[in-house]
Homo-oligomer: A and B are copies of this chain.
């Protein structure tokens, strides 16, 4: 949860006047999105989300994110559509920060994951991958192997503060993944952060995907592995094979997976678990006083990592070969 920036009255009015969306009726900071400041904006024409990009998002990446949402929305993916100002610009500036207005999506993200959620997410992820194939831009995954190495170096000396032996385990894991990582899987635009709080539902139907600020160009199956981690473990830590089976089979119904992609899933899931373990560990060790965000438990992802390390065959995920 995060609202970092307080917007002045006159600044907001002047900013909104550059759009064709009517006058502002209300503007409330909302407790969604950890990286940016988000406001629910009510205008004479309806509801919108106003986002101010705070320092964790690189300004040079913003044109990619904005163009991607625009592209996906036009391809029929239910996602926020950037609203252009009268001068045609979707990315502008407010309070000294890059800022954008996107359309508001109805729906709520599920707090308790049920199997049907996983089925819907699998299908939506595959459709997202297909819709992105005609997108011309690309963006390196800065939280891929190279990024994990940088995070490991930044955390290694203090990792054992969180759990004894953690630094050594991370070192060995990283080395194993660097040696075995599959580098030639089908790739394209991936969401890279499709956790439950980024997926909205209305009743049992998926109504939209949000938060494309980790989207990048990488292996499609890695995105699926991220979803296995994010959607298929129960709160107590046990792996729910029914959910994984539904997630993957719904994906495959929209976009078939090759034998190489399926065979790589345990390794990709290890890598994905390591990615979230490392970013959470970094945030845990670098808490800033007065921050409004409670850091998430890194050890949740150590447990997931160990689970995947123990998987010899993708069939253990409930996946048909």
Contact = CB atoms under 8 A, between A and B. Distances in A.
A70 B112 CA distance: 35
Given A9-B111, A108-B9, A294-B292, A31 B29 contact: yes
B1 A108 contact: no
B3 A31 contact: yes
Nearest to A30: B28
B28 A32 contact: yes
Interface string A150-176: 000000000000000000000000000
Interface string A279-321: 0000000000010101000000000000000000000000000
Given A3-B1, A31-B31, A292-B292, A26 B107 contact: yes
Contact of A106 (B1, B25, B202): B25
Given A3-B1, A31-B31, A40-B40, A26 B108 contact: yes
Interface size class of A (residues with CB under 8 A): 20 to 34
Given A7-B111, A12-B108, 7 more contacts: A3-B31, A10-B112, A26-B106, A27-B108, A29-B30, A42-B47, A292-B294
27 contacts: A1-B3, A1-B29, A1-B31, A1-B292, A6-B111, A7-B111, A8-B111, A8-B112, A9-B111, A9-B112, A12-B108, A25-B106, A25-B107, A26-B106, A26-B108, A27-B108, A28-B30, A29-B30, A29-B31, A29-B32, A30-B31, A30-B40, A31-B31, A40-B40, A42-B47, A42-B106, A290-B294
Contacts of A200: 26
Interface in A1-59: 1, 3, 6-10, 12, 24-32, 40, 42, 47
A200 B3 CA distance: 19
A98 interface: no
A115 interface: no
Contacts of A110: 9
Nearest to A27: B108
A8 B40 CA distance: 21
Interface string A103-147: 010111011100000000000000000000000000000000000
Contacts of A42: 47, 106
Given A40-B30, A292-B292, A202 B25 contact: yes
